[in-house]
Amino acid sequence: MTALVLSAARRPVDLMILLDWRGRLSAAFLLAMILAGLAAPLIAPYSPTDQDLVNMLMPATVDHPLGTDDLGRDVLSRLIYGTGASLYASFLAVAVATVIGVPIGLAAGFFGGWLDDIISRVIDALLSFPGIVLAIGVTGALGIGLTNAMVAVGIVFSPMVARLARARTLIVRSELYIDAARCFGSSSYHVLRRHVLPNILQPLLVQMTLLLAAALLAEASLSFLGLGVQAPAPSWGAMLARGYTYMEIAPEQMYPPGFAILLTALAFNVLGESLRVVLDPALKAR
Amino acid sequence: MSGAALRTSAWRGLQVIPVVIIATLVVFLLLQLVPGDPAITLAGENATPEQIEQIRALYNLDQPLLVQYGQWLLNAMQGDLARSLMSGEDVTRLILQNLPPTLLIVTCAMAISLAIGIPLGVMSAIHRGGVLDTIATALASVGIALPNFWLGMILINFLALQNNIFPATGAGSLLQDPLNALWYAFLPALSLAAGGVAEIVRQLRSALLEVLDSQHVRTLHAKGLSPARIVWQHAMKNVSTTLLTVTGLLFNRLLGATVVIEAIFAIPGIGSLIVRSAIAKDFPIVQGVVFTMVLLVILGNLIIDVLYPIFDPRVER
Amino acid sequence: MRLYPHLALVKDVPMTNPARPPLLEVKNVCASLGGADVLRNVNFSVAAGERLGIVGESGCGKTVMGLSILGLASSAFHLRGEIVFEGRNLLDLPAKAMRHVRGREISMIFQEPMVTLDPVFTIGEQICETLRTHFKLARKEAREQAIDALAQVGIPAPAERVDDYPHQLSGGMRQRAMIAIALACKPKLIIADEPTTALDVTVQAQITNLLVELSEKHGTALLFITHDLGVVAETCDRLITMYAGQVVENAGIDDFLARPLHPYSSGLLRSLPRMSKRKTALPSIPGRVPTVAEMPAGCRFEPRCSLAQAPCKAEQSLLPAGEARKVACCRYDELMLPGVLN
């Protein structure tokens, strides 16, 4: 078991074997979504931006399985193209959070002392901000747009990543083999890179999966508010915003993107919890 | 409150200071994130060079960053959050005007979350593995993944548009007609509360299971106490600190989530204000709202920190 | 710790009183967890006021046995047999009736005083709660009785300690508080599961003596579960030795110390440190307790027993061996196993 878990970080196939059925189902669903997002031009029946003003807000037909929106665009095609935008946004935000959070958390946990004091205070302070509000503030400053919005979300998430990385580094640092490595004259960088980082990756992977769900919801919110994706590009949040505008005449417009967000976020969360059971026995899920 | 408890509270109050300083620094630095010269940003793109210089002098933008921050913080602490770039209105006044509807729906959402989440979490933990537990756990998973503004749209569609039970949008004045204000706040609060209920059910259930498995609960059984007494008196007091922590995090989260909910329900709160201002690049308002919200959260956390020792005698210092 | 040879002088009381019916009678109790036999046909009885020790290595089933009496063993254990307390089979008792037994008729003391008291209630609240669950008592009366109970277990300044939380007390004081809770309702039987194991050696003796003193004073029977034969020798009238879920010997303490009848009991006895022989390696029993998979069909101790012969391959049951003694070894008569008193 232990050997398998250790190798799992390197071999995703092993990880799939260890997951429970919920985790596997979620992973398969997410994989399908990612493929759909990548292959959107191939599988979408229409262009997401082709307007057909004769057939506006049509209910589901054979030609348009999910109907058309307020500009006569095919909802299914927009949903498929939106998959790409929404998943890109989630991964971008989590990548930004990781790139900022991990080195800071590692440094705080590993070097300790005044550096840790300062970083911990900054993390505390940043976690006092309601996430989405700070993200709106940062987006407003950086300029409106999907990439800027998700960089902002990533910045907002980074203290959470840093906090976990710090906590895990503290645990690993106290383990004897770090001392052993130091005795052999390894540099701090080497110890961090070769010994600490691999040991904190597994809990981080769990957290990153859970953050993907949060990022997806944040993208939906920001695009809904008009701070994320800009028309005419599709994203699930932006589709919900249009659905909201025409809610009184075509309430069914809000269901395809809403369910897409719900199911994808659910899948990320379920996958994260399953990963936690496998990778992080210390934090056992009840 | 005893002397020791008072000292504890005072100490916690002091500990908050660095957090406030860093948080306000972040708010201040938001403006520095804007590409280009802050003076031009504040003066607007069509400003004349004289106007730009005027702004530069007004906001001390020719001074070092730290001096600017000190001046800004000093003003902010005195309630001066500058003026709107668009309308020239006083930002502090604007925020105070828009704060009540926001606080009302957040408070109602907290109340709903606790009122539904606590019994559901307890039932779930008591009947671990049973039908009720399975349903509650599944609902909690959905609740956390559910975009709350989408839930808001569904509620509007069914309860306001198709069946005219609740008002679809808007807010009532709390001072003139409190009942009407609550009536308007109900749907937004309910949409907000979905995630809160889910979070409370999950955390409470897991904390309760841990306590119910603990050795001191076995002692209680050995003393001949009834299961009801063990759960509601002992286990609940044991998990009260967890509940307190979750409530604090919930306040933070709801305060953020309310921004989108206000947009859906067209509520004139500070959430709507910040979105409008962010799109219009009205930075003093954006800064002001972020500042207000972070202060509210820090205040909430402080209250919770002071409450900890009341619920758990082991928390001291 | 005392020198065990002195014990013969201290202990000189009759081991059982055949005229009195036993207070607690455990009859053919079996417990299984999954496919594993945790307890197998356990039989013993405790008379009113008697102090019985249950001795064995960890994992021999003694803790499960103790918890099963009060119905506190995990529901994962499947229990069979009878546990008769004053004429009632506790295994059949409805939950509500069982609650009237717990804490009132039989109470229990656990191993780790650090974690067995509720951390967010004061000691006083925890004693009063037991009292008020079982008796109609006003708050004030209950509090006075709680202070009395604390005084009885030797906690200094009980009127102040009554408002302390468990974390404010030392380990020894907490265990005294635990005893006060257990004794609050004057139960007829106290089950003490390794009550001193988690404590400092100096405190261990104090707690053991306290238990004996209180048991004598109130005539409370005591079921003392421990791995420490020395503690049993100091506190109990009788003892049973358990091995791999079975009782292998049941004897009065003096008889046992003089001449254990079961090779496992003898092994336990010889592995005790003694003051007289220094600088010699302590004898230990070779091997380890068999796992479920390797459990022998015959005598369960046979694989580790240096005295095993062909008949030991058959199953051994607990049979009378002289007056008031039982042993589960077919060779007990031929063997002259060394005790401590010779």
Give pLDDT, residue C202: 84
What whole-number distance in Å separates Cα of residue C108 and Cα of residue C66?
9
Give pLDDT, residue B139: 93
What whole-number distance in Å separates Cα of residue A259 and Cα of residue A253?
11
| Helix B236-265 with B148-155: angle, nearest 10 deg | 60
| B87 lies in some domain | no
Q: What angle do CA C156, C158, C160 make, to 5 degrees?
A: 110
The lowest-confidence range among A133-142, A249-258, B52-61, C271-280 is C271-280
Among partner residues C108, C119, C134, which is closest to B216 by beta-carbon distance?
C119
C181 touches chain B (CB under 8 A): yes
Residues of A within 8 A of B205 (CB-CB) are 286
For residue B173, the domain's CATH number is 1.10.3720.10
For C307-321, the pLDDT digits (tens) are 878 788 888 888 888
Q: Are residues B110 and B40 in the same domain?
A: no
Give pLDDT, residue B149: 92
What is the β-pairing status of strands C238-243 and C51-55? parallel
Q: How far is CA A57 from CA A69, A75, B157, in A?
A: 5, 9, 17
Residues of B within 8 A of A139 (CB-CB) are 278
Give me the mean pLDDT over the C34-48 stretch. Answer: 88
Q: Are residues B112 and B169 in the same domain?
A: yes
Which two three-digit tokens encode residue C276? Answer: 């007289």
Residues of B within 8 A of C115 (CB-CB) are 214-216
| B9 lies in some domain | yes
Report the 10 Å Cβ neighbour count for A201: 16
The lowest-confidence range among A174-178, A207-211, B298-302, C127-131 is A174-178
| pLDDT higher than threshold 80 for residue A239 | yes
| B163 lies in some domain | yes
| A165 lies in some domain | yes
Among residues B249, B268, B287, the one where a domain terminates is B268
| B310 lies in some domain | no
| Domain interval for residue B7 | 3-77
Q: Are residues B185 and B116 in the same domain?
A: yes
| B293 lies in some domain | no
Q: Which residue has the higher pLDDT, C312 or A121?
A: A121
Residues of B within 8 A of C134 (CB-CB) are 224
Task: Quote the radius of gyration of chain B (alpha carbons, Å).
Answer: 24
| pLDDT higher than threshold 60 for residue A1 | no
Dihedral sign for Cα atoms in the order A242, A248, A250, A256: positive
Among residues B77, B108, B127, the one where a domain terminates is B77
Q: Are residues B238 and B137 in the same domain?
A: yes
For C204-235, the pLDDT digits (tens) are 888 899 999 999 999 999 999 998 888 888 88
Which two three-digit tokens encode residue A172? Answer: 């690993």
Using DSSP's 3-state secondary structure scheme, residue C31 falls into strand
| Domain interval for residue A77 | 2-42+67-285
What whole-number distance in Å separates Cα of residue B273 and Cα of residue C216?
77
Among partner residues B141, B256, B263, which is closest to A130 by beta-carbon distance?
B256
Q: Are residues B115 and B12 in the same domain?
A: no
- pLDDT grade, residue B204 (50/70/90)? very high
CA dihedral in degrees (A44, A46, A49, A51; nearest 10)? -160
What ipTM does the predicted assembly reach?
Answer: 0.88
Give me the mean pLDDT over the C270-295 stretch. Answer: 71
Phi and psi at residue B154, to the nearest 5° = -65, -40
Give pLDDT, residue A282: 56
- pLDDT grade, residue A184 (50/70/90)? low
- pLDDT grade, residue A185 (50/70/90)? low
Residue C293 CB-density burial (10 A; 0-12 exposed, 13-18 middle, 19+ buried): exposed
* Contacting partners of chain A (3+ CB pairs under 8 A): B
Residues of B within 8 A of C118 (CB-CB) are 216-217, 219-220, 234, 238
What whole-number distance in Å separates Cα of residue A210 and Cα of residue A275?
10
Q: Do B210 and A128 touch (CB under 8 A)?
A: no
Phi and psi at residue C252, to the nearest 5° = -65, 150
Percentage of chain C beyond pLDDT 70 is 90
CA neighbor of A243 nearest in space, from A124, A55, A79: A79
Give pLDDT, residue A276: 86
Give pLDDT, residue B256: 92
Among partner residues A138, A213, A227, which is closest to B33 by beta-carbon distance?
A138
Give pLDDT, residue A285: 39
CA dihedral in degrees (A192, A197, A198, A200; nearest 10)? 130
| A7 lies in some domain | yes
Among partner residues B215, B237, B312, which is closest to C112 by beta-carbon distance?
B215
DSSP single-letter state for residue C87: T
In the stretch 192-231 of chain B, residues with CB closer than 8 A to chain A read 205-206, 209-210
In the stretch 218-277 of chain B, residues with CB closer than 8 A to chain C read 218-226, 229, 234, 237-238, 240
Q: Are residues B171 and B113 in the same domain?
A: yes
A41 Cβ contact list (under 8 Å, min separation 6): none
Please, are residues A253 and A67 in contact by the beta-carbon 8 Å criterion? yes
Which two three-digit tokens encode residue B151? Answer: 């839930």
Give pLDDT, residue A43: 83
Q: Which residue has the higher pLDDT, A11 or C31?
A: C31
Give pLDDT, residue A158: 96
| B317 lies in some domain | no
Q: Are residues B126 and B48 in the same domain?
A: no
Q: Which residue has the tokens 């070894």?
A: C329
Give pLDDT, residue C179: 92
For C49-82, the pLDDT digits (tens) are 999 999 988 878 889 999 999 999 888 889 999 9
The residues that bridge with C29 in the sheet, in sequence order, are: C42
Residues of B within 8 A of A130 (CB-CB) are 252-253, 255-257, 293-294, 297
Q: Are residues B175 and B48 in the same domain?
A: no
Give me the mean pLDDT over the A256-270 stretch. Answer: 95
Chain A residue nearest residue B298, CA to CA: A128
- pLDDT grade, residue A3 (50/70/90)? very low
Dihedral sign for Cα atoms in the order A70, A72, A76, A77: negative
For A70-117, the pLDDT digits (tens) are 777 888 888 999 999 999 999 999 999 999 999 999 999 888 889 999
What whole-number distance in Å separates Cα of residue B127 and Cα of residue B147?
29
Give pLDDT, residue A7: 46
- C-alpha distance from B59 to closest chain C C-alpha (Å): 53
Chain A residue nearest residue B157, CA to CA: A251
The residues that bridge with C36 in the sheet, in sequence order, are: C33
| A58 lies in some domain | no
Using DSSP's 3-state secondary structure scheme, residue C38 falls into strand
Number of domains in chain A: 1
**How many beta-carbon pairs below 8 A join chains B and C?**
74
| A280 lies in some domain | yes
| pLDDT higher than threshold 70 for residue C276 | no
Q: Which residue has the tokens 């002992």?
A: B234
Residues of C within 8 A of B312 (CB-CB) are 119-120
- C-alpha distance from B191 to closest chain C C-alpha (Å): 36
Give me the mean pLDDT over the A129-146 stretch. Answer: 90
Report H helices in A174-254. 176-183, 188-191, 197-224, 236-245
For residue A112, the domain's CATH number is 1.10.3720.10
- pLDDT grade, residue C20 (50/70/90)? low
Using DSSP's 3-state secondary structure scheme, residue C54 falls into strand
What whole-number distance in Å separates Cα of residue B23 and Cα of residue C163?
41
Q: Do B226 and C99 touch (CB under 8 A)?
A: yes
* Count of positions (residues) in chain A: 286
Using DSSP's 3-state secondary structure scheme, residue C106 falls into strand
In the stretch 92-131 of chain C, residues with CB closer than 8 A to chain B read 99-104, 107-108, 110, 112, 115-121, 129-130
Q: Are residues B67 and B107 in the same domain?
A: no
Most B CBs within 10 A among C105, C116, C122, hence the mutation to make, goes to C116
What whole-number distance in Å separates Cα of residue C12 and Cα of residue C257?
13
Q: Are residues B60 and B105 in the same domain?
A: no
Number of domains in chain B: 2
| pLDDT higher than threshold 60 for residue B1 | no
| pLDDT higher than threshold 80 for residue A61 | no
In DSSP notation, A190-212 reads HHIIIIIHHHHHHHHHHHHHHHH
Percentage of chain A beyond pLDDT 90 is 43
| A115 lies in some domain | yes
| A189 lies in some domain | yes
What whole-number distance in Å separates Cα of residue C271 and Cα of residue C340?
11
| A26 lies in some domain | yes
| pLDDT higher than threshold 90 for residue B217 | yes
Asked whether the whole model's pTM tops 0.90, one would answer no
Give pLDDT, residue A281: 58
- pLDDT grade, residue B82 (50/70/90)? confident
What is the β-pairing status of strands C189-193 and C221-226? parallel
Q: Are residues B170 and B227 in the same domain?
A: yes
Among partner residues C107, C108, C115, which is closest to B216 by beta-carbon distance?
C115
| pLDDT higher than threshold 70 for residue B218 | yes
CA neighbor of C19 nearest in space, from C51, C53, C48: C48
Q: Are residues B187 and B130 in the same domain?
A: yes
- pLDDT grade, residue C2 (50/70/90)? very low
- pLDDT grade, residue C99 (50/70/90)? very high
